[in-house]
Amino acid sequence: MQLQDILYSQGFGTRRVCAGLIQQGLVQVYPSLDSSVPLSCTDSAAEFVAQDLRFRVQGADWPYHEKAYLMLHKPLATECSQKPSTYPSIYTLLPSPLRLRPQKGAVQGVQAVGRLDQDTSGLLLLTDDGKFIHRMSSPRHHVPKVYEVTVRHALDEKQLQKLLCGVVLDDDPKPVMAAAAERVAEHHLRLTLTQGKYHQVKRMVAAVSNRVEALHRSQIGGLRLPEELAPGHWRWLSQTDLAGIAA
């Protein structure tokens, strides 16, 4: 695969822009997986095996990924939208190549797998793999999501049982049940859901006569948000991470 095409596939601009970066000496390539020193390459048509290739563009190291899979620790006061209405977009937290990765159709760059409200923090997945987004978002797959919920009033066993047995939301006559509901502390509820209805956690908590004061998503499937990943920071998902989501 030509180096200019590799850079293009990773979101570094049009093929002409990528060729220009290479010809200006702004791109270096690591000759092997265990290399610590990259080598300069000014030939935009130079052929490389893209899989597992590492390169440096304008001083920043990048690993080649045929498809991008990321986790982001979404901070409060951000919106999961390309065109936010009030708060900054989560996409401003990502480097431009991830926002510019080419895709078929009008959509460009990685996209959030589902959404978290502006007042909700926690684990958010992003990818440019449409099949992965569909699989994770489809209610047929029942991917569990764990939320740490701070509530206004003290929790009691009756509220937990109602959440587990099912509560009726105003847009659906069929009761909506939590997969798990744990009283961690007097005002701390750990709630596991396998659905993704609009404002579901807040509405379910309201249905048992309580109120959400703070909301944080800590886990998707078997993948937990790492404690060391600070709000606003992101990292690539490893194959182990991807396998853990379905675990």
3-class DSSP state for residue 195? coil
Q: Assess whether pLDDT exceeds 80 at residue 107.
A: no
The CATH architecture one would assign to domain 3-63 is: Roll (3.10)
Given this model, what pLDDT does residue 138 score? Answer: 78
pLDDT interval class at 27 (50, 70, 90): very high
241 is catalytic: no
pLDDT in tens, 154-164: 999 999 999 99
Conformational region of residue 25, where left means phi above 0, alpha means psi within -120 to 50, and beta covers everything else: left
CATH code of the domain made up of 145-220: 3.30.70.1560
Average pLDDT score over residue span 197-212: 95
Q: Assess whether pLDDT exceeds 80 at residue 172.
A: no
Given this model, what pLDDT does residue 195 score? Answer: 87
Q: Which of 5, 43, 52, 117 is catalytic?
A: 117
- Report the 10 Å Cβ neighbour count for 55: 23
Residue spans of the domains in the chain: they are 3-63, 69-139+223-245, 145-220
pTM tops 0.85, yes or no: yes
CATH code of the domain made up of 69-139+223-245: 3.30.70.580
pLDDT in tens, 119-149: 999 999 999 999 999 888 877 778 999 999 9
Residue 247: which of 217, 224, 214, 215 has the closest Cα?
A: 224
69-139+223-245 and 145-220 share one CATH topology? Answer: yes
- Arithmetic mean of pLDDT over the chain: 94
